[in-house]
Structure 1
Amino acid sequence: MVRLPLTPDEIERGQRLGALLRRARGDRSMLTTALDAGVSPETLRKIESGRVATPAFPTIAAIADVLGLSLDEVWAQIRPTSDAGLAEARPA
């Protein structure tokens, strides 16, 4: 399977996700966080560094859960700025 190159928006979103996870992890070790989330430390390192800009949903859900982040909170922090106005315009 050929993977298409990432768009600039996907790369930027991956960088925002990595920064969010690093901040949420704080002083907690990467090893402990990764193992508690059921992912390899290498995977977590790549996500936090932005090298994996589009990680699988279950991976992000598991890491967010370990760090006490809601998925809504994660999306609010990483979504493209052009999506911000769309969320407000949608009916509840």
Structure 2
Amino acid sequence: MVRPPLTQSDRDRGERLGETLRRARGDRSMAHVATAAGISVETLRKIERGRIPTPAFFTVAALADAVGLSLDALCRDLEEPRRAGAA
């Protein structure tokens, strides 16, 4: 199965995801959060930097839980620029 190429919107949303998770992580170490989420530190690093713009849902859910962020709040953060641009 061939995966369709990512759009600029996908890449932008991936960068916002990374920024939101990094901000929510605060002063906790990457190792601490990655371990709590059950992923590698390298995967967390790539997500936070936007290099994995479309991580699996369960990865995002585990990370949100690890940093104490609800999925609703995460979705609001990811959609905020779109709403501002639509207004």
**TM > 0.5 fold call:** yes
Q: How do 1:73-92 residues align onto structure 2 when only pairs under 5 Å count?
A: 73-79=73-79, 81-82=82-83
The SS at the match of 2:16 is: helix
* Residues in 1 aligned to 2:21 and 2:72: alpha-carbon distance in whole angstroms: 14
Which residue matches 1:89?
Answer: none
The sequence identity of aligned pairs, in percent, is 58
TM-score (norm 2): 0.89
Which residue matches 2:63?
Answer: 63
CA deviations 1:4-30 (Å, max 9, x no partner) are 211010000000000000101111000
Could you list the runs of 5+ residues in structure 2 that have no partner in the other structure? Answer: none
Q: What value does the CA root-mean-square deviation take over the aligned residues?
A: 1.8
* Residues in 1 aligned to 2:82 and 2:22: alpha-carbon distance in whole angstroms: 21
* Residues in 1 aligned to 2:39 and 2:3: alpha-carbon distance in whole angstroms: 22
Deviation of 1:3 (Å): 2.3
Could you list the runs of 5+ residues in structure 1 that have no partner in the other structure? Answer: 86-92
Which residue matches 2:40?
Answer: 40
Length, aligned pairs only:
85
Q: Over alpha carbons, which structure has the higher Rg? A: 1
* Residues in 2 aligned to 1:68 and 1:5: alpha-carbon distance in whole angstroms: 32
TM-score (norm 1): 0.84
